[in-house]
Structures are given as structure tokens and as C-alpha cells.
Amino acid sequence: MLVPGLAPHDAVSNDTLGMTRALRAQGHEVVVFAPHARGVDEPIRAPAEIESWLQSPADAIVYHYCVGWDFALALFGRTRARRVLRYHNITPPEFFAEWSDGYVAACAEGRGQLDAYAALNCELYLGCSPYNLDDFLARGVDPRRCALLPPFHEVEQLRSLAPSAGRLPRGEPLLLMVGRLAPNKAHVDLIDALAALRAMGADAAHLLSAGKLDPNLSRYGEALEQHLHRRDVEDAVTLMQDANGAELRAAYERADALVMLSRHEGFCVPLIEAMALGTPVIARASSAIPWTLGEAGLLFDEADPHTIAAAVLRVQRDAALREHLRAAGRARYASTFAPAVLERDLATALTQVAAR
């Protein structure tokens, strides 16, 4: 298992470690290689050691592709082992053009390696969503070498926590957004929807955004603060960058809806957290979101603020719709994203590797 780095509560790290545990439970010997790791309960070996660990062409490397990394690309080009490219998607650089030259360069480098990986004819391209797999199908990869596997996650751990609501804001309705503060997450559209809600008479409406701001995106953070001031909703927005698991559990429980207006997602783990916890979802139908959500939420092609605001009010006031969305979310989680389902689908996907 090869990954660019590991950290607690990171989506790629969660998938790496969850997949590692599942493969071991299925009888495989698995070692995790990463250039750096912090706060994870797993022995990590240096990537330079990986080729000495591989013993035969029957061995396999699962590489979690989420950034540009010349080491991994070169390794995949020369190894005799079977290659599984686990693709998490990379945000297009144009989302960061106004905010960070470093992000633009990093995203361009990462996406710039798509053609090279497609040309390698790997034994398996393992996408977190159909949207991710399209990046390789569009480059001519044989569909028979592609498989779909949603990411392993920490949803069950989140469900097991006792909620802690002491620091959470009050609000009626309360809109929840979970995800880092980044341009592709479209927090500006969320702020506009909140302002529209208040203009409709929902004076107590509040937005809770749980997610961190990378210091390298400080200009974007400043722009959000200015937009809050322009829309006169500073008192109605809580940006919680240090929410712990118990607080996040409580936020899903208290919120009237998870409102996900992101313009680019390779999968979107908060959607399945909301489904599992019974939080209604209102979302923009962009990138991977329509597939991940399925019919378990309200989807809109565009995030018109008045349309989103009206949807929030309807979910808040229509008990039958609210219960329908909760039931649909729980059913989709159980059928498609529960750990036992992922373990089964992983084993099925790897039969394609064994056959080559």
C-alpha cells in the first residue's frame, strides 16, 4: 500500500488504512509505505524500501493517487508487480487561480500525470466514484481494467460517539457544511443562500461550517470574511475549524440539513456521514455528488441562493419530506457504503487483478 502521506481524519488516509485492514482480514499480507505519517496507528515504511519488499510478479502495489508524485509514477513504470491505481481525484487548478500559486502548481502537476498513468495500462484502475473513473476512460483506458469502490471511511466511529453540542451555535433553521475552507467548496454560495433565507424572514437562520483553512489559502479566507460583511451575516455564520468528532456528531444531529454546494468533489465523504446519521441533504449536482448522493437528497443543477433557501425551509417545515430523506439516506448508506459492503466490493475488484 503506497500513499503520499498519512494523517488523522484525512479522507485518503482513512481509505488507505481501512483498505489495509480489510485486505489483512481477507488473508493478504499488507505493508504501508509513505514518505511521512503522523497520528496513525500503523507501522509505516519508507517508499525507498518498497522494491525490496516486492518478491514476485504476483505481488501488487496499491497506490493512492491524489497528488503529483514522480516517485510513484516511475515505480509504476518499471515494477514487475501488479499495479492497482487507487484514484481519489485531484482538484482542477483553475479553482485556485485567484488564491494560491502554490495550489495551482500542485494541482496542475497532479493532474498532469493522468495521461502517463493511463498509458501504463495498469492491471486495475480503482475509482472512488464513476466521476473519477471518467478521467481514465476518457484517456482510452480499457473499461475492463476499471472498477468502482467507494472509499473506506470513519462513519461508524462517528456514529458511535456521544454528541457534544456545548460549542455549537443555535439556529433555526441551522445549515451545516462539512469540508475544508477552499474555493471549490463554494462557501460564497452558501453565504448567499443564508442571506436569502434571512431575507425570506428566517431571521434566526444560521450556518455552521466545520472545516479548516489551510494557511496557504489565507487570501481566500480573507475574501470569505469580506463577503460575510457585504451580505451582513457575520453574526449568523460560525466557522468552526477545530471541531472534534463528538461535536461533528452533534452538528449532524442538530442541523436541519447538510447543504453541500461544492463545485468539485471526487466523492464527498460528508454526504455519506449525513446519510448514515439521518441528516437531510441539499446539494449542487456537480462532479461526483449526484452519484454519491443518489436519490437520498435534494439536488439542484445550480446553486441559486433563493432556490437553496426555499429548499431549506421546505425540509425544515415538511415533516414527511424530512423523514423520507432521512430514510432514503440511511438506506443508501447501508446498501452502498457500509463497511461490510466495501469489504465485499474490494474483494470482487481484486479478482480482476488476480486474473492478470
Q: What does pLDDT average to over the chain?
A: 97
Whole-angstrom distance, CA of residue 2 vs CA of residue 62: 6
Whole-angstrom distance, CA of residue 184 vs CA of residue 336: 26
Whether the per-residue pLDDT at 353 is higher than 80: the answer is no
Whether the per-residue pLDDT at 154 is higher than 80: the answer is yes
- Average pLDDT of 98-122? 98
Where do the DSSP E strands lie in the chain?
A: 32-33, 44-45, 60-65, 82-87, 124-127, 146-148, 174-178, 206-210, 237-240, 257-260, 281-284, 298-300
pLDDT tier for residue 261 given thresholds of 50, 70 and 90: very high
Whether the per-residue pLDDT at 16 is higher than 80: the answer is yes
Whole-angstrom distance, CA of residue 4 vs CA of residue 88: 12
Q: Which residues contact 22 (CB under 8 A, 6 or more apart)?
A: 152, 342, 343, 346
- Identify the H or E element spanning 17: helix 11-25
Percent above pLDDT 90 for the chain? 97
Q: How many H helices and E strands in the chain?
A: 15, 12
pLDDT digits over 17-49, tens only?
Answer: 999 999 999 999 999 999 999 999 999 999 999
Q: Name which of 244, 241, 232, 237 is nearest 259 in CA terms.
A: 237
Decide if 284 contacts 303 (C-beta within 8 A): yes
Query: Domain spanning 11-148 has what CATH number?
Result: 3.40.50
Whether the per-residue pLDDT at 55 is higher than 90: the answer is no
Supply the pLDDT for residue 106: 97
Q: Name which of 295, 99, 68, 313 is nearest 202 in CA terms.
A: 313
pLDDT digits over 278-329, tens only?
Answer: 999 999 999 999 999 999 999 999 999 999 999 999 999 999 999 999 999 9
Domain spans, the chain: 11-148, 157-337
Whole-angstrom distance, CA of residue 8 vs CA of residue 14: 8
Supply the pLDDT for residue 338: 98
Supply the pLDDT for residue 52: 93
Query: For the whole model, what pTM was predicted?
Result: 0.97
Supply the pLDDT for residue 26: 96
Whole-angstrom distance, CA of residue 239 vs CA of residue 211: 8
Q: Do domains 11-148 and 157-337 have the same CATH topology?
A: yes
| Nine-digit cell string for 116 | 502517463
Backbone angles phi, psi at 168, to 5 degrees: -80, 145
Positive or negative, the CA dihedral 234, 235, 237, 239 is positive
| Nine-digit cell string for 144 | 475492463
Whole-angstrom distance, CA of residue 148 vs CA of residue 281: 23
Q: Name which of 23, 163, 15 is nearest 86 in CA terms.
A: 15
Decide if 308 contacts 177 (C-beta within 8 A): no
| Nine-digit cell string for 49 | 524500501
For 204, the 3-state DSSP assignment is: coil
| Nine-digit cell string for 186 | 463554494
- CATH, domain 157-337, list 2.170.260.10, 3.40.50.2000, 3.40.50.1100, 3.40.800.10: 3.40.50.2000
Supply the pLDDT for residue 352: 80
Q: For the residues of 306-344, what is the DSSP string, one character each?
A: HHHHHHHHHHHH-HHHHHHHHHHHHHHIIIIISHHHHHH
pLDDT digits over 167-191, tens only?
Answer: 999 999 999 999 999 999 999 999 9
Supply the pLDDT for residue 282: 98
Give the CA distances from residue 229 to residues 169, 226, 240, 262, 321, in Å, rounded to whole numbers and listed in that order: 19, 5, 18, 21, 34
